[in-house]
Amino acid sequence: MPKASSKGGGARADRPRLLVAAADGRVFEHDTLELALDNGLDVVRVAPKDVIAVPKDWALLAMPGTRPVGYDPTAGRFQTVTSFVDDDGVAFEPWAVAVHPPPGYVRAFHPAAEYQDTTHPDVKLRRLAEQEAQRKQGTSPVQDGGDEAARPGLPLWAYTAAGMTAKGPVAGLFLADETSRWAPGLFYQRDLDAKIAARLAEDPDNRVLKQLARCGKEYLCCCAQNVFYERWEGAVPIAPACTAACLGCLSKEPAWETPVPQKRLGFQATPEEIARVMAHHLERAPEPMVSFGQGCEGEPTMNGPVIVEAIRQARARTKRGVINLNTNGSRPETIRECARAGCGALRVSINTFDRELWAAYYRPSDFGFDDVIKSIYLGRDEGMHVSINLLIWPGWTDRLAEVDAISKLVEDGALQMVQLRNLCVDPGHFRSMLPPRERRGVLLGIKGFVAELRRRHPSLRFGTFNPRLSADWYRDVPAFAGRL
């Protein structure tokens, strides 16, 4: 975390101060303004219960194209910061500051900021690409791409409110799962390269293994690294295409789209390649699980015959462990076939139970919301462990209507777990898509959302990771291992 400079001032000592960023990456504490929080609908003053201390080495994120908003305790009002003077007396236009929650943590508050541009990032990048093509052809003058007005969109992070206290940084998030298997010290070890080389030597022509090597080394994917460490949950990416074009897709990258954290794999693996990776991991790993539906791929059920045959072949070799399918729920019948071939766990991704906003985010090609719900119930009927991968957005997810929709699934015996995942999108554009205040109804806050579901359904599990279903003791652990 960059050192935050401060010249002292009038913000109350018991409340976090506002942080602002310069374009060169420097971060400053504001002299007089307190941190303000955005609950997704209103800017609110921070209270001690709203933030937790975070390690000093967490990275701060500057947010180009934004203006930070803080609270002036003397005037008793919120204030947009349009100018800031650094320690050398140089004035600049500041940007808002955020953190990205690490694995296991869930965003409760957005940074309080004004967004100067809410154009869809795809639209801006397409426009820039067209202008660049015209420039090369000499057909028209174009604006310099370095101009801030041409900002294509913020990268795909879960921008979370962050401030500074005398004891260190704080952020508007909470722990939602235990992280014993996901601590950074368990990954990125010096022996990883040797383990990758040894495993590739055992199956040198396997393209799935080669993709996993890239994911483990370049994208720092923990589940990919687990394949080479031969432990716990291992990744099995198989799909080069998708049935949706999600706003927050981690891997889709046409020439004009928002830059993404990972490159989509560019081949269709054979059932034999896939099954060899699966069986090898299931036979050897402690608490073994293999999961389809990774960040570097599309929709794993899109090529039904391939995934079903791969599961059959893997299960012909070993009955050990859990085969898990992460999916957008677009292919219910393929999910049924996967279950009957030996897939025991299902995680369906969903951002909301509001049909219009669901479609606006997922941008489905040939399926609808009813297919997603059908997939969840089909998982129940086939005896699968069913989770939803709920993409959290404070100010929308925490509607009482969302609680009621999830409760219906639980009451119908169709849902065992809610995995709380931070929705990573350009916040300026996404917030402009949301329905107005009068359509949102009662908001509980993200912590209140979890608390209400726990009150209604004490046995409903929560977390941010896939459950440790292969552990003998799993069903004896608390349904919620986090801290609200």
pLDDT tens, the chain, 484 aa long: 334 454 444 455 679 999 999 999 999 999 999 999 999 999 999 999 999 999 988 999 999 999 999 999 999 999 999 999 999 999 999 999 999 998 899 999 999 999 987 776 666 656 655 665 665 664 433 323 333 333 457 888 999 999 999 999 999 999 999 998 998 889 988 899 999 999 999 999 999 999 999 999 988 899 999 999 999 999 999 988 899 988 888 766 544 344 555 667 788 999 999 999 999 999 999 999 999 998 778 899 999 999 999 999 999 999 999 999 999 999 999 999 999 999 999 999 999 999 999 999 999 999 999 999 999 999 999 999 999 999 999 999 999 999 999 999 999 999 999 999 999 998 988 998 999 999 999 999 999 999 999 999 999 999 999 999 999 999 888 898 889 8
Domain chopping of the chain, boundaries: 4-117+153-175, 184-476
- Reduce the DSSP state of residue 425 to 3 states and report it: coil
Containing H/E element for 272? Answer: helix 271-284
Please give the Cα distance from 364 to 243 (Å, whole number).
6
Name, in order, each residue with C-beta under 8 angstroms of 473's C-beta and a sequence gap of 6 or more: none
Please give the Cα distance from 317 to 332 (Å, whole number).
26
- Residues 250 and 156 sit within 8 Å (Cβ to Cβ): yes
222, two tokens:
């923990």
Q: Left if phi > 0, otherwise alpha if psi is -120 to 50, otherwise beta: which for 264?
A: beta
Please give the Cα distance from 270 to 240 (Å, whole number).
12
- Reduce the DSSP state of residue 16 to 3 states and report it: coil
HSE-up of 402 (CA within 13 Å, CB side)?
A: 30
Nearest to 435, CA basis, from 404, 468, 399: 399
Residue at token pair 């307190």: 34
Q: What is the pLDDT of residue 240?
A: 87
Name, in order, each residue with C-beta under 8 angstroms of 172's C-beta and a sequence gap of 6 or more: 37, 46, 50, 51, 107, 108, 109, 110, 160, 161, 162
- Residues 293 and 327 sit within 8 Å (Cβ to Cβ): yes
Please give the Cα distance from 455 to 420 (Å, whole number).
17
Please give the Cα distance from 82 to 95 (Å, whole number).
9
HSE-up of 243 (CA within 13 Å, CB side)?
A: 21
To the nearest 10°, the Cα dihedral for 75, 79, 82, 86?
60
- Residues 109 and 38 sit within 8 Å (Cβ to Cβ): yes
159, two tokens:
């921008």
Pairing of strands 168-171, 27-38: unpaired
**DSSP letters along 147-194, please?**
SGGG-----S---EEEEEETTEEEESEEE-S--TTT-GGGSS-TTHHH
Backbone angles phi, psi at 374, to 5 degrees: -60, -40
Please give the Cα distance from 236 to 227 (Å, whole number).
9
Pairing of strands 160-165, 17-21: antiparallel
Please give the Cα distance from 288 to 366 (Å, whole number).
34
Backbone angles phi, psi at 162, to 5 degrees: -140, 140
- CATH code of domain 184-476: 3.20.20.70
The amino acid at residue 170 is: V
Please give the Cα distance from 222 to 420 (Å, whole number).
18
Look up residue 200 and give its DSSP letter. H
Please give the Cα distance from 27 to 32 (Å, whole number).
15
Nearest to 81, CA basis, from 117, 42, 28, 13: 28
Nearest to 71, CA basis, from 101, 99, 30, 103: 30
Environment class of 411 (CB within 10 Å of its CB; exposed 0-12, middle 13-18, buried 19+)? exposed
Environment class of 312 (CB within 10 Å of its CB; exposed 0-12, middle 13-18, buried 19+)? middle
Beta bridge partners of 43: 38
Nearest to 448, CA basis, from 36, 45, 15, 49: 49
